[in-house]
Amino acid sequence: EAALKYEKIFGKGNYFLEMQDHGIPEQATVNQQLMRMSEELEIDLVCTNDVHYTFADDVEAHDILLCIQTGKKKADEDRMRYEGGQFYLKSPEEMYQLFKYAPQAMENTQKIADRCNVTFEFGVTKIPNFPVPEGYTSWTYLKELCETGLHNRYPVFKGEVDQNCHLTKEELEERLNYELNTIKNMGYIEYFLIVWDFIHYAKSNGIAVGPGRGSAAGSIVSYCLEITDIEPMRYNLLFERFLNPERVSMPDIDVDFCIERRQEVIDYVGRKYGKDHVAQIVTFGTLKARGVIRDVGRVLDMPYAQVDNIAKMIPQELNITLDGA
């Protein structure tokens, strides 16, 4: 019943019954039932492999990493584990051997791949267009926002004494123009408008926004746009740490939103640009040399003193690896 429902949703030929074989006995039983269902419902089969590590001999390392992630020891019985030990990237030959009783399922895997036509253009940065009000270009709109922010942020433009920043109007305008021209020449006008817009949305809707984190706090443009709330001139922060005309790289503005309402900002961006144009980036963390020794030692239930002695043999160097040590 469920299979027919999904086939109706996706359309005939766009929905498949998936078979897997990771050396788990129960999967063999399930696969036989899937073959029977495929014949009865006339829904095609496809065979896949759930990949959690690259090579077959990575199984032990993956199991230990899983223990580190879940805070368990390897000897614990009530812990998460991947039974079967075959969750690696299998070759076509291995897959054919496993599913030689269902050759059509193998062919369907290739058919699905052939129907995918996504292409990636590497080495090219594409920034979305920001919709500016009528009568403006992106450049004139950014300049006006920054100039308005400069006058609002710095008391000197109101004829008042600024206890935190002793620069003149001319010096502040010179810094702002330098940053704006750098941003323009590097092609990042739209980027700043996009970030300004969703931060403006958050603040206008009572969503807490962090005062600034990372090198973006060194930009007076960020300060004038209220992307950050840290006055860069007072603390002699360098704009070049954030955006350097000598080293062309994408600016990276780190923004902290209230965790309870962060999704509202993401939804706003999705509505503005279209959900099919918005994606969240992925980050990968790595374990430091000393830390991984302590973690693995704990997982293997080794004596603390022994693990500590081994960990202290690793030199105190930034980004050192186990091989390098």
* pLDDT tens-digit map of 198-255: 999 999 999 999 999 999 999 999 999 999 999 999 999 999 999 988 887 888 999 9
Report the candidate in 279, 297, 293, 278 with the shortest Cα–Cα distance to residue 325: 293
Percentage above 70 pLDDT, the chain = 100
Q: What is the C-alpha to C-alpha distance for residues 138 and 129, in angstroms, rounded to an integer?
A: 9
pLDDT (0 to 100) of residue 118 = 83
Q: How much is the average pLDDT of 182-204? A: 97
pLDDT (0 to 100) of residue 212 = 93
- Which pLDDT tens digit goes with each residue over 60-90? 999 999 999 999 999 999 999 999 999 999 9
- Which pLDDT tens digit goes with each residue over 253-309? 999 999 999 999 999 999 999 998 899 888 888 889 999 999 999 999 999 999 999
pLDDT (0 to 100) of residue 286 = 85
Q: How much is the average pLDDT of 37-47? A: 96
Contact 99, 105 (CB under 8 A): yes
Q: How much is the average pLDDT of 138-160? A: 95
Report the candidate in 234, 246, 252 with the shortest Cα–Cα distance to residue 175: 234
pLDDT (0 to 100) of residue 2 = 94
The domain segmentation of the chain, as residue ranges, is 2-115, 138-277, 284-325
Q: Positive or negative, the Cα torsion across 258, 260, 262, 264?
A: negative
Would you identify the CATH topology of the domain 2-115?
TIM Barrel (3.20.20)
- Does 296 or 164 have the greater pLDDT score? 296
Least confident of 99-108, 153-162, 204-213: 153-162
The phi and psi torsions of 19 (rounded to 5 degrees) equal -110, 140
Q: How much is the average pLDDT of 91-107? A: 95
Instruction: Write out the DSSP string of 187-200.
Output: T-HHHHHHHHHHHH
Q: What is the C-alpha to C-alpha distance for residues 191 and 129, in angstroms, rounded to an integer?
A: 9
pLDDT (0 to 100) of residue 215 = 94
Model confidence at 127, pLDDT cuts 50, 70, 90, reads confident
pLDDT (0 to 100) of residue 216 = 95
pLDDT (0 to 100) of residue 240 = 94
Assign 254 to helix, strand or coil.
strand
Tokens of 51: 């990949």
pLDDT (0 to 100) of residue 314 = 92
- Is the pLDDT at 190 greater than 90, yes or no? yes
Assign 105 to helix, strand or coil.
helix
Q: How much is the average pLDDT of 160-175? A: 89
> What's the CATH number of domain 284-325, 1.10.10.1600, 3.90.550.10, 3.40.50.620, 3.40.50.12500?
1.10.10.1600
Q: How much is the average pLDDT of 7-11? A: 96
